[in-house]
């Protein structure tokens, strides 16, 4: 088991999904399809208990996300308390629900870092994808973030509809004086899985975008950090998803489920523990769910005898499930997977499809209720 995730791993990165509520309706949202079913959010005290327990185990990074974390009126309290516990605190937000006063209040509470997401570099496309008028407000909030002296990350989720704006996207980030820019390729889970036909870029789009990203990485060296990652569907080897199951990341959902990754809730025949019933220590070290895909005993061939298993851990469990129906299979992104053909079929069919032909399903409570009815 040398090199594979061990049970001595610590939950260094704690992601607190404070709520699934969000004023935006992005069709690539990674929240569950039936998020409207999720009631009974953790209250302030319950969140603080989680933060304390995870910190005692060595957690250092804390991300406040959602949904839209700004919906939570106790966000300032959570930031202040988490900072006092010694966390490096990150707010991951669309900016909708923020104003100048709140940006300052977060600063006073000790928030370290803000990531603002944009849907595109143009108002028209941004607001179409967001499902609401948000672009101008995002610009104002990004300027406010800089004015308050935060290190600012801008995140653009790239897909077939906006990837050709990549140069304008980078120029917008330069204009807004971003410190880091994530040109994040859509991850095909949740709503993005439903809308994959509409969102997956073609190979030609990717190659052009990659060349532009590399050109700007060189030009902006020392001034702005630009991260660009191609979608793993186009890779030959799978990503080391979450750096290994139960290795570094701990996600807590709005209703208190503890997950090794944000998409794990969909996996079949697995019961995830709830922080209302168990300590973080027990969840991380003892719970069957967090131990399920640690080590290599769960692996099938070709992963089990593959020398790369110590690097990629067999890839993504959620992707293996979505494509093959069995999360213990090799991630089909791997060209050694017996089911790699399924990825190739998706890529090939996307090359031919007219992107306007696929209907786009926006994430909103009405869609979510329909998914509940259908399931």
Going by the annotation, the residues of the binding site are 22, 26, 29
DSSP code of residue 305: T
Which has the closest alpha carbon to 71: 52, 53, 94, 89?
A: 94
Q: Which CB, 153 or 318, lies closer to ligand FES? A: 318
Tokens representing 234 are 């186009």
Which has the closest alpha carbon to 235: 193, 203, 197?
A: 203
Q: Which CB, 166 or 261, lies closer to ligand FES? A: 261
Q: What is the DSSP string of 263-285?
A: TGGG-TT----BTTTS-HHHHHH
Shortest Å, Cβ 157 to ligand FES: 15
Q: What is the DSSP string of 44-107?
A: HHHHHHHHHHHHHTT--EEEEESS-GGG-TTHHHHHHHHHHHTPEEEEEE-SBTB-HHHHHHHH
Using CB under 6 A, list all residues that contact ligand FES. Answer: 189, 241-242, 261, 263-264, 316-318
Residues in contact with 79: Cβ distance below 8 Å, sequence separation at least 6, in sequence order: 64, 89, 91, 106, 109, 110, 111
Shortest Å, Cβ 23 to ligand FES: 25
Shortest Å, Cβ 271 to ligand FES: 16
Shortest Å, Cβ 245 to ligand FES: 6
Q: Is 248 helix (H, G, I), strand (E, B) or coil?
A: coil
| Cα angle value 314/316/318 (rounded, 5°) | 135
Q: Which CB, 157 or 316, lies closer to ligand FES? A: 316
Shortest Å, Cβ 188 to ligand FES: 10
Distance CA 202, CA 209 (A): 11
Q: Which CB, 263 or 289, lies closer to ligand FES? A: 263
Q: Which CB, 70 or 322, lies closer to ligand FES? A: 322
User: Where is the binding site for [4Fe-4S] cluster, in residues?
Assistant: 22, 26, 29
Tokens representing 347 are 């890529």
Shortest Å, Cβ 315 to ligand FES: 8
Q: Is 200 helix (H, G, I), strand (E, B) or coil?
A: coil
Shortest Å, Cβ 328 to ligand FES: 12
Shortest Å, Cβ 77 to ligand FES: 30
Tokens representing 193 are 């899985």
For helices 317-324 and 340-352, angle between their N-to-C axes, nearest 10 degrees: 70
Contact 118, 154 (CB under 8 A): yes
Q: What is the total residue count of the chain?
A: 375
């Amino acid at each position: 088991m040398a090199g594979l995730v061990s049970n001595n791993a610590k939950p260094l990165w704690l992601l607190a999904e404070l709520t699934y509520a969000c004023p935006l309706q992005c069709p690539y949202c990674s929240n569950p399809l039936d998020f409207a079913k999720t009631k009974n959010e953790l209250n302030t005290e319950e969140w603080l208990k989680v933060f304390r327990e995870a910190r005692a185990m060595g957690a250092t990074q804390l991300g406040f996300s959602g949904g839209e974390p700004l919906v939570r009126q106790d966000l300032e309290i959570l930031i202040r308390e988490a900072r006092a516990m010694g966390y490096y605190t990150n707010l991951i937000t669309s900016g909708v629900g923020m104003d100048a006063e709140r940006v300052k209040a977060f600063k006073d509470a000790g928030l370290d870092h803000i990531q603002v997401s944009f849907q595109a570099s143009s108002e028209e496309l941004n607001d179409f994808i967001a499902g609401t008028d948000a672009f101008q407000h995002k610009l104002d909030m990004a300027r406010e973030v800089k004015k308050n002296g935060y290190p600012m990350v801008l995140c653009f989720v790239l897909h077939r509809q906006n990837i050709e704006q990549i140069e304008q996207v980078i120029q917008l980030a330069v204009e807004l004086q971003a410190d880091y820019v994530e040109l994040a390729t859509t991850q095909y889970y949740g709503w993005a899985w439903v809308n994959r036909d509409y969102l997956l870029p073609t190979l030609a789009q990717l190659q052009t975008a990659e060349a532009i990203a590399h050109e700007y990485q060189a030009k902006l060296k020392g001034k702005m950090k630009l991260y660009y990652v191609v979608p793993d569907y186009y890779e030959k080897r799978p990503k080391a998803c979450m750096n290994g199951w139960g290795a570094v990341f701990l996600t807590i959902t709005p209703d208190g489920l503890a997950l090794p990754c944000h998409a794990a809730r969909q996996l079949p025949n697995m019961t995830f523990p709830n922080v209302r019933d168990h300590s973080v220590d027990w969840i991380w070290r003892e719970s069957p769910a967090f131990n399920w895909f640690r080590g290599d005993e769960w692996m099938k061939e070709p992963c089990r005898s593959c020398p790369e298993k110590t690097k990629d851990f067999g890839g993504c469990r959620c992707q293996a499930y979505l494509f093959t129906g069995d999360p213990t299979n090799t991630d089909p992104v791997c060209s050694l997977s017996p089911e790699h053909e399924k990825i190739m079929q998706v890529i090939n069919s996307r090359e031919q499809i007219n992107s306007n032909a696929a209907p786009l399903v926006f994430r909103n409570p009405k869609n979510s209720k329909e998914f509940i009815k259908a399931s």
